[in-house]
Amino acid sequence: MPVEVPSDEDVSAAFGKGDPDALRLLYVRFGALVYSLARRSLGGQADAEDVTQQVFVSAWRGRDTFDPERGSLAGWLVTITRNRISDMLRSRQRDDRVLLHMAANVTTEDPAVPSDQVVNRVVVADELARLPEAQRLVMTLAFYSDLTHEQIAEVLQMPLGTVKSHIRRGLQRLRSRLEADRVAY
């Protein structure tokens, strides 16, 4: 029985070998990442679906160009996604120059290029979701509650040292992920 969500290493290895199941694994692992990036950059669901489809199809067709020595699979996919989003935005601009004009006064839920901020937020969310449960709970409370690490330890009935180490390793992991994906953050 295969694991529900494959590890990045498994996906990367399968993909590198051109394993017939690699595309499915890639999609299981990164479908939500790619789709969320597209949704947030493009707004519309239909366009986001189109971009997601294009990204995985191009990733499959271009699988020979993925070089694990040069960066992570996630980073490679994020790059493809950004390019497809840009293509989509450019074609929209051609379609409707009025929008571009209006965009000057709009706060950027609908940016003209996929913004680094959007990419970073989605990458962070993806990595948080990948943390082991206890650590994810600690990180979520550390980020989004008013609790100090001592309070988190008390509430979760975890040793203080464990909470501190979860926090340290969690932050490091998020940071490495942002760097591995070669996202400017």
Partner 1 sequence: MSHTDPEFLALKALGEQAGTAQDAAHLAQCADCRLELERLTRVVELARRDGPTPLEEPPASVWERIAATVGSEGAGVARALVPSDSARGAANGSGRRGPLAPPGRDVPARRPTGVRVGNSPGRGGWRRRRLRLVAAGLAAGLIIGAGGTVAVTQLTRPPASQVLAEIELRPLAQFPQYQSAAGTAALRKTQAALQLAVSVSAPPRPGFYEVWLLGANGTSMISLGDLNAEHAGTFTLPTGVDLRFYSRVDVSLQPFNGSTQHSSTSVVRGSLPATAAGAAEPS
Interacting positions 150-179 with partner 1 (CB under 8 A) = 151, 154-156, 164-165, 167-168, 171-172, 174-175, 178
**Cα 135 from Cα 48, distance rounded (Å):** 31
User: Do 23 and 67 touch, CB atoms closer than 8 A?
Assistant: no
Closer residue to partner 1 (CB): 70 or 143: 143
CB of 72 to partner 1, least distance (A): 17
Q: Report the SS3 class of residue 71.
A: coil
CB of 70 to partner 1, least distance (A): 20
Contacts of 149 (CB under 8 A, 6+ apart): 142, 160, 163, 164, 167
Among 13, 99, 128, 180, which residue interacts with partner 1 (rule: CB under 8 A)? 128
**Cα 109 from Cα 112, distance rounded (Å):** 10
Q: Is 102 in the site for partner 1 (CB under 8 A)?
A: no
CB of 68 to partner 1, least distance (A): 21
Q: Is 64 in the site for partner 1 (CB under 8 A)?
A: no
**Ramachandran area for residue 44 (φ above 0: left; ψ -120 to 50: alpha; else beta):** beta
Q: Which residue stretch of 23-31, 65-73, 89-97 sits at the interface with partner 1 (rule: CB under 8 A)?
A: 23-31
Among 8, 149, 162, 182, which residue interacts with partner 1 (rule: CB under 8 A)? 149
Closer residue to partner 1 (CB): 87 or 129: 129
Q: Is 94 in the site for partner 1 (CB under 8 A)?
A: no
First-last CA distance in the chain: 38
- Print burial letters for 132-167: b (CB count within 10 Å at least 16), e (below 16): eeebbbbbebbeeeeeeeeebbeebebeeeebbebb
Among 8, 79, 99, 136, which residue interacts with partner 1 (rule: CB under 8 A)? 136
Q: Is 52 in the site for partner 1 (CB under 8 A)?
A: yes
Q: Is 109 in the site for partner 1 (CB under 8 A)?
A: yes
Q: Is 97 in the site for partner 1 (CB under 8 A)?
A: no
Phi, psi angles (nearest 5°) of residue 3: -70, 155
